[in-house]
């Protein structure tokens, strides 16, 4: 089919229409992000809809011989797997309803298309615990109602006329959204998800009416900077921090019971899917509660949790020149994460058949308790490519540059995974992947330095040049309290632990300028290991310039405090020093009692209190 659609819509026609509509949504993603204030003003609705719908594009390339019902089933499944955010999950459920309505038919008539749209609307509404008017649901309802009304009124309706009249109805419904939600009226915008669905249908109409397909957009062009909206209004009623999602696979998922259980722990709940596969979207403070609850209904996969608070802060922070993001191998003090708006992509932690998102669905205390008691030694893996891609897409649509600081490529594939994800981003911002040649507190210091530069108004080029000079001079030093965890993880042979125990010596681990983490000596005695390490660091650290110091501890805060006091005595040139909880980079091999100290030349202007100006 190459021309406009007349009285029937087959698989190829639907594929071409959808491709045109999805291209239009992707083209508008910046605009949709800018007007996003509900349910949370985190500026990502356009990105989420683009990523969600974009997953269907590969299925739409070759449909000459495809069956309509089969194509819709594949589209619904792809959208369910890839759906992002509230609107993405609702659109996925709309297409699930259309797929179930189409069944085995090989083409849509205007009547069967109307029935499919109506069932899609019912599915979309049923997916929400508390449906709200003035959102994408209102537009889906208006679309389905218009189609069904026309097909009842005019038995021989043609698709171009059908879609044309439905556009009039959904545009009218879109204009009403500010009157239905106070947050939209106060911000002076229509609902972003609703606008996205209107854009999808109007893009589809281009093919249905005149046979043309909207071209794939060039997202390298920024919107006119004069185009702005007041998005300072509070985004809905959600007080929760994490936008949490996962997929549940089972045989007979009780979706009603699952929905009721989830509704007790968060808000903005969307439950899409079928009895065999369900997609959960919910806003909560504790993502692990969602994953734990979901495991009672089937096998859980594709866990993700985005920090809406940090996204909201970033999307409204025009003072910063660029965004900084790190993987969770970096240990950073909580106050610096908040103050400097540093984004984090979690590593994956696996204890046997139980998986966690590092520092998101498992805390440091919980991790080390699990490490101490679980017979399965944990394995850590790099973030999933989708985790990087989702955050890169968001940040690159809000900043001209994004600096991603990764754990050393010598010990992890995270650096390469970040590169691969960055290559797949189609957004205005430039993404730069920087190998920290470090881990833990060393990597954390590099991320903090980059974020300090952004806060000072420095440009990305100037900051990268500074990082290139400082990274080889940044070190991390570590001592462990018990070598058994390193033995269990295969990092240290058992005989080394035996010899160290007999001689009462403690090995010192240190990062090297080429990115390796190696043993660099031994400390004699166990009780004085903190004092001995402080002296070891003082001998190794530069004495002729100010230093930034970050101390990480594995559930041993008293050791961290002692280390701070010792270093203050040994290193009078410390300009800035912080303490943080230790994560998995060293913790998985060091276990409870591990102390890691990061040292870095402090190259930024300072106030009298040692903080960046």
**Per residue, what are the HEC states of 437-490?**
CCCHHHHHHHHHHHHHHHHCCCCHHHHHHHHHHHHHHCEEEEECCCCHHHHHCC
Judge whether residue 234 has pLDDT over 70: no
Rounded Cα–Cα distance for residues 15 and 1 (Å): 10
Averaged over 467-492, what is the pLDDT?
82
Token pair in block for residue 460: 């990305």
Q: Is residue 101 located within the same domain as residue 187?
A: yes
Asked if residue 342 belongs to a domain, the reply is: no
Rg (CA), the chain: 27
Q: What gap in Å lies between CA 569 and CA 188, rounded to an integer? A: 58
- Which residues, 6+ apart, have CB-to-CB distance to 423 below 8 Å? none
Counted domains in the chain: 3
User: What's the CA gap between 18 and 66, in Å, rounded?
Assistant: 15
Distance CA 215, CA 235 (A): 33
Q: Are residues 267 and 145 in the same domain?
A: no
How far is 149 from 153, CA to CA, in rounded Å?
6
Tokens of 478: 């570590």
The pLDDT of residue 232: 40
The Cβ of residue 221 has, within 10 Å, a number of other Cβ atoms equal to 10
pLDDT tens digits, residue range 82-114?
A: 888 889 999 999 999 999 999 889 999 999 999
- Within this chain, do residues 120 and 15 fall inside the same structural domain, yes or no? yes
DSSP state of 354: E
Domain edge (last residue) among 283, 311, 339: 311
- Could you tell me the pTM of the whole model? 0.70
Sign of CA dihedral 289, 54, 37, 122: negative
Residue 377 lies in a domain: no
Q: What is the mean pLDDT of residues 146-154?
A: 89
Question: pLDDT category, 470, cuts 50, 70, 90?
Answer: very high
Q: Give the domain extent around 562.
A: 473-601
Q: Tokens 């009304």 sit at which residue? A: 149
CA dihedral 282, 75, 145, 260 (to 10 degrees): -30
For residue 397, the model assigns a pLDDT of 82
301: three-class secondary structure by DSSP: strand
- Give the residue-averaged pLDDT of 381-388: 80
Domain containing 529 — which CATH number?
Answer: 3.30.1180.10
The contacts of residue 233 (CB under 8 Å, 6+ apart) are 37, 41, 183, 186, 187
Q: Residue 600: helix, strand or coil by DSSP?
A: strand
113: domain CATH number? 1.25.40.340
Q: Give me the long-range contacts of 454-457 (CB less than 8 A, separation at least 24).
A: 454/320, 454/321, 454/322, 454/323, 454/324, 454/340, 455/319, 455/320, 455/340, 455/612, 456/604, 456/605, 456/612, 456/613, 457/319, 457/321
DSSP assignment string, 42-106 = -S-HHHHHHHHHHTTGGGGS--TT--HHHHHHHHHHHHHHH--HHHHHHHHHHHHHHHHHHTT-S
Residue 611 inside a domain? The answer is: no
Tell me: cis bond preceding 39? Omega within 30 of 0 counts: yes
Residues with Cβ within 8 Å of 323's Cβ and at least 6 positions away in sequence, in order, are 314, 341, 343, 395, 398, 399, 401, 402, 403, 429, 454
Between CA 330 and CA 584 the distance in angstroms is 9
| Selection from 363-367, 464-468, 514-518 with the highest mean pLDDT | 464-468
Same-domain pairing of 165 and 49 = yes
Q: Are 256 and 269 in contact (CB under 8 A)?
A: no
**Positive or negative torsion for Cα 425, 430, 436, 440:** negative
Higher pLDDT residue, 107 or 613? 107
Out of 61-70, 283-292, 392-401, 595-604, pick the least confident.
Answer: 61-70
Closest CA to 322 of 430, 443, 445, 470: 430
| Co-location of 200 and 249 in the same domain | no
CA atoms within 13 A on the CB side of 87: 35
Q: In which order are the strands placed within the sheet that holds 595-601?
A: 517-524, 505-511, 475-479, 595-601, 547-553, 574-581
> 187: part of which helix (H) or strand (E)?
helix 182-187
Terminal CA-CA length for the chain: 63
Mode of pairing for the β-strands spanning 574-581 and 267-273: unpaired
Q: Is the pLDDT of residue 389 over 90?
A: no
Residue 608 lies in a domain: no
Strongest mean pLDDT among 208-222, 309-323, 576-590 = 576-590
Regarding beta strands 343-345 and 323-327, do their DSSP bridges make them parallel or antiparallel, or are they unpaired? parallel
**Which residue, among 532, 438, 538, has the nearest Cα to 479 in the 3D structure?**
532
Look at residues 265, 288, 311 and tell me which one is the last residue of a structural domain. Answer: 311
Does 533 lie in the same domain as 480? yes
Asked whether residue 325 carries a pLDDT value surpassing 90, the answer given is yes
- Mean pLDDT across the chain, nearest whole number? 86
Instruction: Give residue 496's pLDDT.
Output: 60
Same domain, 107 and 170: yes
Q: Is 433 part of any domain?
A: no
142 lies in the same domain as 245: no
Residues 248, 203 share a domain: no
Residue 143 covered by a domain: yes
Same-domain pairing of 38 and 125 = yes
Which of 205, 412, 452, 223 is closest to 327 using CA atoms? 412
How open is the CA angle 416-582-597, to the nearest 5 degrees? 90
371 belongs to a structural domain: no
Q: Is-contact 327 407, C-beta < 8 A?
A: yes
Helix then strand then coil, in percent of the chain rounded to 5, is: 50, 20, 35
Tell me if 385 is assigned to some domain.
no
Give the H/E segment covering residue 597: strand 595-601
Residue 227 has pLDDT above 60, yes or no: no
pLDDT in tens, 161-220: 999 999 999 999 999 999 999 999 999 999 999 999 999 999 999 999 989 999 987 644
Shared domain for 42 and 165, answered yes or no, is yes
pLDDT value at residue 63: 62
245 shares a domain with 136: no
Of 166, 195, 210, the residue that ends a domain is 210
């Amino acid at each position: 089919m190459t021309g406009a659609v007349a009285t029937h819509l087959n698989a190829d026609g639907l594929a071409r229409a959808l491709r045109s509509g999805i291209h239009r949504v992707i083209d508008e993603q910046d605009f949709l992000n800018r007007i996003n204030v509900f349910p949370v003003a985190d500026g990502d609705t356009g990105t989420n809809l683009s990523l969600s719908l974009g997953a269907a594009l590969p299925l739409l390339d070759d449909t000459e011989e495809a069956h309509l019902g089969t194509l819709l089933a594949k589209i619904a499944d792809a959208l369910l797997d890839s759906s992002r955010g509230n609107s993405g999950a609702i659109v996925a459920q709309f297409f699930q309803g259309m797929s179930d309505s189409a069944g085995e038919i090989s083409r849509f008539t205007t009547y069967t298309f109307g029935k499919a749209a109506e069932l899609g609307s019912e599915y979309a509404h049923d997916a929400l615990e508390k449906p709200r008017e003035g959102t994408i649901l209102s537009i889906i309802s208006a679309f389905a109602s218009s189609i069904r009304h026309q097909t009842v009124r005019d038995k021989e309706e043609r698709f171009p006329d059908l879609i044309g009249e439905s556009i009039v109805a959904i545009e009218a419904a879109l204009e009403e959204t500010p009157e239905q939600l106070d947050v939209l009226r106060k911000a002076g915008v229509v609902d972003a998800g609703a606008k996205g669905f209107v854009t999808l249908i109007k893009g589809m109409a281009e093919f249905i009416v005149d046979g043309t397909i909207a071209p794939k957009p060039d997202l390298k062009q920024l919107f006119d900077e004069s185009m702005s909206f007041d998005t300072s209004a509070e985004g809905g009623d959600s007080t929760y921090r994490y936008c949490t999602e996962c997929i549940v696979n089972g045989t007979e998922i009780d979706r009603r019971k699952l929905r009721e259980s989830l509704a007790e722990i968060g808000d903005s709940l969307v439950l899409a899917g079928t009895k065999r596969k369900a997609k959960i979207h919910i806003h909560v403070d504790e993502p692990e509660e969602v994953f734990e609850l979901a495991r009672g209904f089937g096998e859980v996969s594709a866990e993700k949790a985005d920090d809406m608070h940090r996204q909201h802060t970033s999307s409204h922070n025009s003072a910063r020149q660029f965004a900084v993001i790190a993987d969770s191998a970096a240990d950073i003090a909580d106050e610096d994460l908040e103050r400097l708006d540093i984004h984090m992509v979690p590593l994956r932690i696996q204890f046997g058949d139980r998986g966690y998102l590092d520092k998101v669905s498992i805390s440091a205390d919980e991790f080390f308790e699990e490490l101490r008691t679980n017979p399965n030694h944990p394995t850590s893996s790099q973030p999933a490519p989708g985790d990087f891609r989702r955050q890169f897409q968001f940040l690159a649509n809000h900043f001209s540059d994004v600096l991603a600081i990764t754990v050393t490529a010598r010990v992890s594939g995270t650096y390469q995974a970040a590169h691969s994800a960055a290559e797949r981003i189609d957004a205005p911002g430039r993404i730069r992947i920087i190998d920290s040649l470090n881990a833990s507190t060393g990597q954390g210091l590099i991320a903090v330095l980059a974020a300090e530069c952004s806060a000072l108004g420095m440009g990305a080029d100037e900051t990268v040049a500074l990082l290139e000079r400082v990274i080889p001079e940044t070190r991390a030093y570590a001592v462990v309290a018990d070598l058994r965890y390193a033995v269990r993880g295969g990092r240290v042979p058992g005989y080394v632990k035996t010899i160290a125990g007999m001689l009462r010596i403690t090995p010192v681990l240190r990062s090297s300028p080429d990115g390796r983490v190696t043993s660099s000596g031994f400390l004699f005695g166990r009780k004085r290991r903190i004092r001995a390490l402080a002296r070891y660091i003082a001998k190794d650290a530069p004495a002729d310039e100010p230093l930034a110091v970050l101390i990480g501890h594995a559930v041993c805060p008293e050791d961290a405090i002692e280390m701070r006091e010792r270093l203050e005595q040994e290193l009078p040139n410390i300009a800035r020093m912080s303490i943080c909880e230790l994560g998995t980079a060293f913790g998985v091999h060091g276990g409870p009692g591990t102390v890691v100290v990061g040292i870095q030349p402090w190259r930024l202007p300072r106030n009298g209190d040692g903080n960046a100006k």
